Every structure is written in structure tokens, then in C-alpha cells.
Amino acid sequence: MKYFAIGYHGTSEIGANQILNNGIDFRRRSDDVFLGRGFYVWRDSYNRAKVWNSSEKVIEVKLECNQYEMLNFTSQNWNSELDILKLYLKYFKPKQIYFGEFIDFLIYELKVDIKLVTIMDLKNRMTKIHIQDPLNQRNKTIFSYGDIQLCIKHKDVISHIKVENES
């Protein structure tokens, strides 16, 4: 099965021009410990990309990836994600190795074919909203909102890329 998504990346005007002229350097950010090296985008969230570090430009990418070539931590239908988490927690976290470093180790050292990683980024955005009976305090609903962040690890998953037009 295929995974399809549209992602948005906020950047400077210089950064957008570099990406359009030279392509994306997927190995550039070796210091990113969240999901490791790659090109980070917000799935379906143009506004999140626009406000990211007061971005001047937003790059839109269309993604297509085979599900067996990705780690999708936003799905109930996990493939190898649970095994990878168990491996990380047992052997790497106790050695204070960050999760992103672990993923990069799998890709660049062990040659595991991971082209895309997707994860929910809640950033503690949760609120209690009464959607049933506002007079009944027992019917509180925890409503969380957040965006899905994708770390693109390989150019093969990008089917289209463009920079927002000036308006």
C-alpha cells in the first residue's frame, strides 16, 4: 500500500532558492535529535510552516511512499514500528542516544530502507471541552490538537515540490 501526503516546510527566501536550485540535502542536519537527518515538513499544515521561525517562504511537497519503507507512528496499523521502539528503548535509550540518532544509525550504518518518518507533534496542546452536557462535570472531553511532522529521508518519496507564489 502507498502513503500519500502533502507537506509544508517553512524557510527563508535564501533557503527556498537553494532548495529549488540545488535540491534538498537530506543528510545536512546531523544535529537534529528529534527524528534525525532529513527534510522536515508539517503534513497538511501550511499555517504551521508559515509561522515556523517566522518563515518568509513555504515550500509545498507532495509525497508518495510505500508503507514498508516508512515508520508511521501516527497509524494504528504498525508494521515494524513497535519492534523498532522496543529495540531503541532496550539498547539505545539507556546509553543516552537520542531517537533521531538511532533512526539515522539504522539508515546510514545498518542500511535499513527507511525513506520517511511520520509522528504526531502535540506540543502539550490539550484542552477540556464540554461537548456533551456542559452542566455535567463528568462528561469532560479531552480534546487534543497538534500537527503531524514528517521527516523525509530520501528524495524518492517526493513527487512534486514548489514554493508558494507571491500574492
59 with 40: CB under 8 angstroms? no
Q: What is the spatial distance between Cα 68 and Cα 80, in angstroms, rounded to a whole number?
A: 8
79 with 68: CB under 8 angstroms? yes
Q: What is the spatial distance between Cα 65 and Cα 71, in angstroms, rounded to a whole number?
A: 11
Would you state the pLDDT for residue 96? 94
Mind listing the pLDDT tens digit of every residue in the chain (167 residues)?
Answer: 899 999 999 999 999 999 989 989 887 766 778 899 999 999 988 988 988 878 899 999 999 999 999 999 987 777 789 999 999 999 999 999 999 999 999 999 999 999 999 998 766 555 555 556 656 656 565 566 678 999 999 999 999 999 876 44
The residue to which cell 519503507 is assigned: 69
Backbone torsions φ then ψ of 12, nearest 5 degrees? -80, 170
Would you state the pLDDT for residue 37? 92
Q: What is the spatial distance between Cα 70 and Cα 117, in angstroms, rounded to a whole number?
A: 6
Q: What is the pTM of this model?
A: 0.83
